[in-house]
Amino acid sequence: MPSPSTTAAPASPRDFPCPGESPTTTPAATPTAAPTSTGAPAGPPSPPDHYWENNGFKIPLPLHGQARCDGLSAVQRIRGALEPLRRRGDLTVGSTRTALTGLGFEDGKVTVDGNGAGLSFLIDATGSHLCLEGTVNPAAVTAEAFGGYPDHPGCDVPRGGH
């Protein structure tokens, strides 16, 4: 009979290679926050203070399993749609929004901000539990997928504090 101290640890999310990804490039199943435009530090500040206690709700949730594969696929589609705009120098809110909605993202769920020097976008595909954000500027197109925020509906960075 097992002793009371031998309880099973909660299972960690399992990641597996997604299409086009080799098993050696699959990230570990440890939760890590996706980089965001919020400027939040990547780790606990030193010396420790109450940052994580007061701001942890602003850290995006990572994707695991099939959701991670769906996110990687969406990121590739977005990069493919925005790269021609970047090469042409067509960095307008309208052309970027048209390219993103042309991929099937709902117009009311696509936010594009910025000017001709660079644009940022946020796509709230929460019906599929997927958030996508990134930038397009003369030098590069970036796109990342994440699973939203703890205790907050939607894909926008939560405001406020604890």
Domain with 100, as residue range(s), is: 61-148
Would you give the DSSP letter of residue 151? Answer: T
Does residue 128 form part of some domain?
yes
Round the CA-based radius of gyration of the chain to a whole number and report it: 18
Does residue 92 form part of some domain?
yes
- For residue 34, what pLDDT is reported? 40
Would you give the DSSP letter of residue 70? Answer: H
- For residue 27, what pLDDT is reported? 52
- For residue 33, what pLDDT is reported? 37
pLDDT digits (tens, 9 = 90+) for 132-147: 999 999 999 999 999 9
Does residue 50 form part of some domain?
no
User: What is the total count of domains within the chain?
Assistant: 1
- For residue 23, what pLDDT is reported? 63
The 3-state secondary structure of 66-106 reads HHHHHHHHHHHHHHHHHHHHHHHCCCCHHHHHHHHHHCCCC
Does residue 113 form part of some domain?
yes
Does residue 90 form part of some domain?
yes
- Residue segments in the chain with a per-residue pLDDT below the cut of 50: 1-5, 7, 9-10, 28-41
Does residue 11 form part of some domain?
no
- For residue 49, what pLDDT is reported? 66
Does residue 136 form part of some domain?
yes
- For residue 126, what pLDDT is reported? 63
